[in-house]
Structure 1
Amino acid sequence: MPTPPRLIPLLEQFDFARRRLADRLTGPVMDSGNGTDVEVGPMTDAEYLWEPVPGCWSVRRRADGPGPRATALTGTGDWGRDTAPAPHPVPPPFTTIAWRLSHLSELLALRADHTSGTHSLTRDDYRTSGDAAGAIAEFDTAATAWRGALLATDDRALDTVGHSTYPHGSDPEDPFVDIVWWVDQELLHHGAEIALLRDLYRSRP
């Protein structure tokens, strides 16, 4: 299926942001932003789970229970991500790389399913990894699934309200092209947050 012309810049932006985050997580080099390669090491498990301030939300062993101000660990499997029902804690808890990467990967995986898959996956079905390598693999799988959903989208679908039935956003009320834009900005801003946390971890006292 030919890619709709107005989807092409959004797809290119997604590919750029995905590659930049993946390189930032794994190395051996990343794009500095001007085309210059900067050396970067792979993320370790200690860094993945690092809590830079007290009271962080993170991913945790289910047997250990949720963290401060969280009431549950979302997902399935031995590890889950701190969460609480709305209204969420104020001020929002600071979140670790593990939390942010799990959130981003879950968002991509579930939106892919609710766009071109079974339209049935929930947060209770998502399995979060307790180690860095597993989380990076989850991100790659989820990003690939979302990209596949985009490639299966025709021009008419871009204008269709509710083309994605993802239940944790405005998808059922918005044209799909707005959702594609939103996912790009989620990847860009969470990728930037994760990059900053990597810099802070490297420079910690």
Structure 2
Amino acid sequence: MTLPDPATRDIRAIFERARTRLFGRLEGLTDAEYLWEPVGDCLSIRPGDDGVFRVAEMIPESVPGVPDPVTTIAWRVWHIGSLCLRGYVIHFFDDVPEFGDRDAWPGTAKEGLQALAEDWEHFTSRIAALGDERLLAPIGMGPGGWAEETYLKLALHALVEVSHHGGEIGLLRDLYLRT
């Protein structure tokens, strides 16, 4: 028996597994942990003069011989949610919801995790709706040469970002609990 859209089914299942693990790891996150800066020169989200929290620096520039900056859990949650998943919806899909100020991000753990959950749903529901034929075809739009890539590659790239930054979030939580 041939299953309809097995690639779409499998990518959806892997995203659900990643979501369960990441959000399970974030359960009980406090505002203090969310904004904790373990070293003095952390990248984070901070309130501006208008009181709206925004990321201090989107993507830190790597300098040879200098370690990349340490980032807070809030910055990592923002990176996965807004920069990656929300950004992919904006750049690679036609039916983009109204996001408002894309650079703004919640300053509390509860609201930050809710925003991440919403960005996750926006992205994964669009990937799930593609079906295998579209998932495996060139995207046809997007910046930086992505138009020739497939939605499957975009989804796998999103999973790399989630696993990379999710692992760092887990380590930051472990360190915070031991300080």
Relative to the length of structure 1, the TM-score reads: 0.74
| 1:95 corresponding residue in structure 2 | 71
Q: Distance in 2 between the 1:174 and 1:122 partners? A: 25
Q: Distance in 2 between the 1:57 and 1:47 partners? A: 14
Q: Could you say if the C-alpha distance between residues 4 and 127 of structure 1 is closer, same or farther in structure 2, counting changes exceeding 3 Å?
A: farther
Q: Could you say if the C-alpha distance between residues 23 and 3 of structure 1 is closer, same or farther in structure 2, counting changes exceeding 3 Å?
A: farther
User: Which residues of structure 1 form unaligned runs of 5+?
Assistant: 27-41, 65-76
Q: Could you say if the C-alpha distance between residues 109 and 198 of structure 1 is closer, same or farther in structure 2, counting changes exceeding 3 Å?
A: same
Deviation of 1:147 (Å): 1.4
One-letter amino acid of the structure 1 residue matched with residue 52 of structure 2 = D
Identical pairs, percent: 32
Which structure is higher in helix share? 2
Q: Distance in 2 between the 1:105 and 1:84 partners? A: 13
| 2:21 corresponding residue in structure 1 | 20
Q: 1:138 aligns with which of 100, 110, 115?
A: 115
Higher relative contact order (CA 8 A, sep 6+): 2
Q: Distance in 1 between the 2:97 and 2:113 partners? A: 24
Q: Distance in 2 between the 1:158 and 1:17 partners? A: 19
| 1:83 corresponding residue in structure 2 | 57
User: Which residues of structure 2 form unaligned runs of 5+?
Assistant: none
Is 1:153 aligned with 2:154?
Answer: no
One-letter amino acid of the structure 1 residue matched with residue 74 of structure 2 = A
| 2:33 corresponding residue in structure 1 | 47
Deviation of 1:160 (Å): 2.5
Deviation of 1:53 (Å): 1.1
Q: Distance in 2 between the 1:20 and 1:9 partners? A: 17
Deviation of 1:8 (Å): 2.2
Q: Distance in 2 between the 1:172 and 1:3 partners? A: 26
One-letter amino acid of the structure 2 residue matched with residue 183 of structure 1 = A
| 1:128 corresponding residue in structure 2 | 105
Deviation of 1:197 (Å): 0.5
Q: Distance in 2 between the 1:122 and 1:196 partners? A: 30
One-letter amino acid of the structure 2 residue matched with residue 18 of structure 1 = R
Q: Could you say if the C-alpha distance between residues 24 and 164 of structure 1 is closer, same or farther in structure 2, counting changes exceeding 3 Å?
A: farther
Report if the CA contact (8 A) 1:163-1:176 is conserved: no
Deviation of 1:196 (Å): 0.8
| 2:156 corresponding residue in structure 1 | 181
Deviation of 1:54 (Å): 1.8
What is the total number of aligned residue pairs between the two structures? 173
Report if the CA contact (8 A) 2:127-2:135 is conserved: no
